Amino acid sequence: MTTASPADTPAVVAEAHTGPRGRRFAATGRALTSARYAGGKLAGAVVSLFAVLVTSFFLFRIIPGDPVRTMTHGRQVSAEQLAYLRGQFGLDLPLWQQFTRYCGGALTGNLGTSYQFHAPVGPLIAEKLPATLLLTGTAVVLYSVLGIWLGTRSAWRAGGLGDRFHTGLALTLWSVPSFWLGLLLIITFSVGTGPVPGLFPTGGMESGDARGWGHVLDVAHHLVLPVTTLVAVQYAQTLLVMRSSLLDEMGGDYLTTARAKGLRDALVRRHHAVPNALLPTVTMLFINLGHVAAGSILVETVFSWPGLGGLFYQALSVPDLPLVQGLFVVFAGTMILMNLLADLLYPLLDPRVGR
């Protein structure tokens, strides 16, 4: 009959796993797992960014039209002058050399020189960025809050009159083209043929030389219609995702336990169901934040908003390849960054992620 040694007793084994050494070992394991998870996501983001550079270069090379001839349209230009301009813009080089120059410049922050504005692409984008951030940033905040609130109420009272009304309205507005809705709002609230003519300006970001609060109110007045257009079209996505996620959580045993403890229905929803249903919604919110830099090309064009969307439309009409490529990289890079931040935030919201 063998006798258990003191080192094999349950108390000693428990101490090995729960003592200081065991806790340090577990903490080290968790840190390595988290680092491996974050490293994988960072590597994926780098690969995605390189794919964006490749795509932005070759995709816009298939756009029909000669940029040099477009820039000189209506002028008497000799073949020698056309060849000189192509040499100035590097269009006479083989495609692989153009690609290597483009990638090298992008990695150093040099996105090239605009064909039509004859200025570096980076400062042109930086000049238009604040207007786009103001417009789409305001819209993202409003339709995210509205969508989460209405999605939560619809799911908690699923099948009711309010749920059917909000879901039907959201689906209807989501199917409406944003440019069509923008034109409809202009006809209704701006031009003389509408029932409320002249209530809001037809376009632009400001209409005068006001300073201080007068300027703030002027810009806010111009914001109303484009922001309303973006919110009306986009809030449905947040509502539907939040509603679906919360419906999946409502059958959970932990909600039944919370109610059995005597918690009020509002507390069960606010402190238990909603936090667990937010993970898919957080993903979508970060994707929406990625759209902040891209803005809405159609809405900015309809309302003549002086942002990146209008600049992208101008660049495509030439085509201004360096400017189009630079804007595409900025738009896609912002999306990649926001997705990366969402992936890194997941383990904080749900510790099961990344294990």
For residues 128 and 308, the answer to whether their CB atoms sit within 8 Å is yes
- What confidence score (pLDDT) does residue 105 get? 76
Q: CA dihedral defined by 251, 252, 257, 258, rounded to 10 degrees?
A: -90
Bond preceding residue 347 cis, omega within 30 of 0: no
Predicted pLDDT at 227: 92
Residue found by looking up tokens 């929406």 in the block:
288
pLDDT digits (tens, 9 = 90+) for 24-50: 656 676 667 777 877 888 888 888 888
Give the model's pLDDT for residue 228: 92
Q: Is the pLDDT of residue 254 over 80?
A: no
Higher pLDDT, 235 or 17: 235
Residue whose C-alpha is closest to residue 237's, from 165, 174, 298, 149: 174
SS3 content of the chain, % helix, strand, coil (to 5): 75, 0, 25
Which tokens in the block code for residue 68? 């040099």
Would you give the DSSP letter of residue 314? H
Q: Dmax over Cα atoms in the chain, in whole Å?
A: 108
Task: Decide: 279 and 349 in contact? Cβ < 8 Å.
Answer: yes
pLDDT greater than 50 at residue 13? no
Query: Has residue 179 got a pLDDT over 70?
Result: yes
Would you state the pLDDT for residue 256? 66
> Band of the pLDDT at 16, cuts 50, 70, 90?
very low
Kindly tell me if the per-residue pLDDT of 144 is higher than 80: yes
Mean pLDDT of all residues in 46-56: 83
User: Looking at residue 26, what is its pLDDT?
Assistant: 61
Integer Cα distance of 165 and 153 in angstroms: 12
Per-residue pLDDT at 14 exceeds 50: no
Per-residue pLDDT reduced to its tens digit, 106-133? 777 777 778 788 788 888 988 988 888 8
Of the given ranges (59-68, 187-196, 290-299), which has the lowest mean pLDDT? 59-68
Q: How far apart are CA 56 and CA 326, in angstroms?
A: 8
The pLDDT, as a whole number, for residue 75 is 65
**Angle, to 10 degrees, between the axis of helix 161-174 and the axis of helix 121-156?**
160
> Residues 6 or more apart from 290 whose CB is under 8 A from it?
334, 335, 336, 337, 338, 339
Residue 52: pLDDT above 70?
Answer: yes
The predicted model scores a pTM of 0.73
- The pLDDT value given to residue 350: 63
Query: Is the pLDDT assigned to residue 214 strictly greater than 50?
Result: yes
CA distance 240 to 281: 10
8 Å CB contact between 291 and 140: yes
What integer is the mean pLDDT of 289-318? 80
Q: Helices (DSSP H) in 250-271: which residue ranges?
A: 253-260, 265-268
Residue with structure tokens 């969508």?
147
Among 67-71, 242-246, 330-334, 336-340, where is mean pLDDT lowest?
67-71
Give the separation between CA 230 and CA 235, rounded to whole angstroms: 8
Domain boundaries, the chain: 53-247+274-349
CATH topology assigned to domain 53-247+274-349 = MetI-like fold (1.10.3720)
